[in-house]
Structure formats: C-alpha cells, structure tokens
Amino acid sequence: MVAANRDKLAVTAPARSPHPPWVIITDYPRWPSPYFTHLDRHAPAELRLTFRRGLDGLEGVSVPGVINLHRLKRLYHDGGGRTSSAAAAFLDRLASLHGQGWRIVWTVHNLLPIDGQLPGPADYAVTRAVLCLADMVLCHTRADAAALRSRTAADIRVTGWAGLEPSAQPPAPEVAALAARMRAGQLPDRRPRNGVQGCPGHHHRVSRRHARRSPDCGRDLP
C-alpha cells in the first residue's frame, strides 16, 4: 500500500478520499523501513499514509493534512553541518506550511541529536521552535511524556516502542485509537496547559530569534 506512494503526494486530494494525508518525513535508506513496517501493515488504507524524504512539494496542497516529523537534524543540514542559517530556513518553511493548514506532529525520539557534531545553538533553536509549533507530540514512554509537558503546549501521546521485527498482531489499543483519530484527521486544538504558554504568533514567522523569545516553549533547554 505505502511502498507505491513513497515520496509521492497528489497536489489535489482525490474527491473520493475525504481524509487528508498523514505525511511521515523519513529518509531511511531502504524501503520498507523496519521502523515503519508495523504501521504500514496495520494502518487503514483511508489514512492516506505517505512517506517523504523532506518538505518539498507540500506547499499549495488543496487539502493539507499532517506533517509527522521524526529526527530533525538532517532537515537543517546545509552539507557542511547543522547551521543556524539552515535551521532558520527550515523553521520558516515549517511555519509557513503550518499557516497553510498543515498540522505538525513531532515523534520525539531525542530532543537533541545524539550523534555527529555536538548539539549547538541551531539544534536548541530548532527543538524549542518545533515544540512551540507542534499540534501534537508523540513519544515512547510515560516518562518522556511527563518530561515534555512543561516544554510544550501541544497534545502529548504515548505510543510505546515499535519493534524492528513487525508483529502479526495489531498495535496496542491506545495506538489503534490514535490511528483512528489520525484517519479522521482529528487533532486537538492547541490549548495552553497550566505552566506552559503557547508560542506567541506561532502561526506566523518562526526563526531562531522567535524561538529565543519564547522561553515557555522548550523550557529547561539551554
């Protein structure tokens, strides 16, 4: 189902499909990726699950859906490393897509890169800004969720861990329930929780400077 759709997204959603696309941003070097085979096997066809390497081609889509980010570091890599200018360009583009109606979901594996060059200002700026911009954050454990609640106003969901060997069994009930919401394109409206304020002007331009002026998002990050 998904293999044929990898890196492809129709600019106009088919009239027969009332559901917006759920676009997973990943560049795993081979397909099927062992990290997504379980989701691929059990996701309902009407979810319009799509896999893309980057954000190219998402502007101007008549029925915007969900952009599901995973590991962020390569999305602001300019060939010589992760730079502040590349980070600002990535964040501006993501904010623009959000303003066009795309919902932003970040599956948080790590808040900062754990390999390659040591985390620097660009990495911290991206983490803060994406936590501000996100409509939903998915994480692996309840401990992750507890740590994230003071850092983002986004809805936080615990999905558990995906095995590298896809199970023949459907996902756990809480993941199936999330898939049902994904299928219906139902993400909650952003409502600031106690102790966390929504990112001021998060529907508008997001940049390194914006992230630094929004201390309530990504708090406890240097």
Tens-digit pLDDT profile for residues 97-127: 999 999 999 999 899 999 888 999 999 999 9
The pTM (predicted TM-score) of the whole model is 0.74
pLDDT, greater one: 144 or 191: 144
C-alpha angle 80-82-87 in degrees, rounded to nearest 5: 125
Q: Which amino acid is at 163?
A: G
pLDDT per residue as tens digits for the range 154-194:
999 887 765 555 566 666 666 666 666 665 555 555 544 44
Across the chain, which distance is largest between two alpha carbons, in Å? 48
Here the tokens at position 185 are 């394109």
Question: What residues does each domain of the chain span?
Answer: 3-212
**Dist. CA 35–CA 41, nearest whole Å:** 12
Q: Confirm or reject CATH 3.40.50 for domain 3-212, answering yes or no.
A: yes
Here the tokens at position 101 are 């109606």
Omega prior to 32 cis, within 30 of 0 = yes
